[in-house]
Amino acid sequence: MGCLADFAPETPEGLMHELSICQSLLDIVLDTARKNDATRVSRVNVEIGELRGVVPDSLTFYFEFLTKDTMAEGAELHIDIVPARKRCRTCGAMHLDEGDGVRCPLCQSTDAELVMGMELQIRDIEVE
């Protein structure tokens, strides 16, 4: 038997995940701007980890599209890609994550944890 239910939730979502991410980004930007009595947003600085799988061009495309008729229309979306970094669990040194079997340049250990490269955050915004 089972209890079958079908529904299509009404959520402000779109086709690609960059559109969903961009909508969340803009919600936070506009909310922050309003709380700070701004009338215009001129720049948004975001940090995206290189391992996050987010396409910057796609984000920029949706940003232009979604900001139309908002106080962030025409704002520049500046994206900094954060390189992946590992911290060696043996000696504590930070090193680049170059993938496959990467060794700590100081102590040669392969035991490391990922500490950077998964960011997806708004650093700051410039408003008038």
Partner 1 sequence: MTRIIEVMTDILQANETTAADNRQLLAKYGVTTINMMSSPGAGKTTLIERTIEALAGSMRVGVIEGDIETTRDAERLDKYDVPVVQINTRSTCHLNATMVRLALEKIDLSGVDLLIVENVGNLVCPAEFQIGEDAKVVVLSVTEGDEKPLKYPAMFRASTAMVINKTDLVPYTNFSLAEARANAHRVNEELRIIEVSCATGEGIDQWVAWLTSLRRRRKD
Positions in the binding site for partner 1 (CB under 8 A): 1-9, 11, 13-17, 20-21, 24-25, 27-29, 32-33, 36, 38, 42, 46, 51-54, 99-101, 120-128
Which regions of 9-119 does DSSP assign to beta strands (E)? 41-49, 76-82, 85-88, 94-96, 112-116
Shortest CB 113 distance to partner 1, Å: 10
Nearest approach, Cβ of 52 to partner 1 (angstroms)? 7
Q: Which amino acid is at 70?
A: T
Both tokens of 1, joined, read: 């038997």
Helix (H) or strand (E) holding 65: helix 56-67
Pick 42 or 93: Cβ nearer partner 1: 42
The CB-of-15 to partner 1 minimum distance in angstroms stands at 5
Query: How near is the Cβ of 49 to partner 1 at its closest, in Å?
Result: 10
55 vs 94 by CB, closer to partner 1: 55
Crossing angle of helices 17-35 and 56-67, in 10° steps, is 50
Report, in angstroms and rounded to the nearest whole number, the Rg of the chain calculated over CA atoms.
Answer: 20
- Decide if 82 contacts 57 (C-beta within 8 A): no
Of 28 and 96, nearer to partner 1 (C-beta) is 28
Question: Cβ closer to partner 1: 93 or 120?
Answer: 120
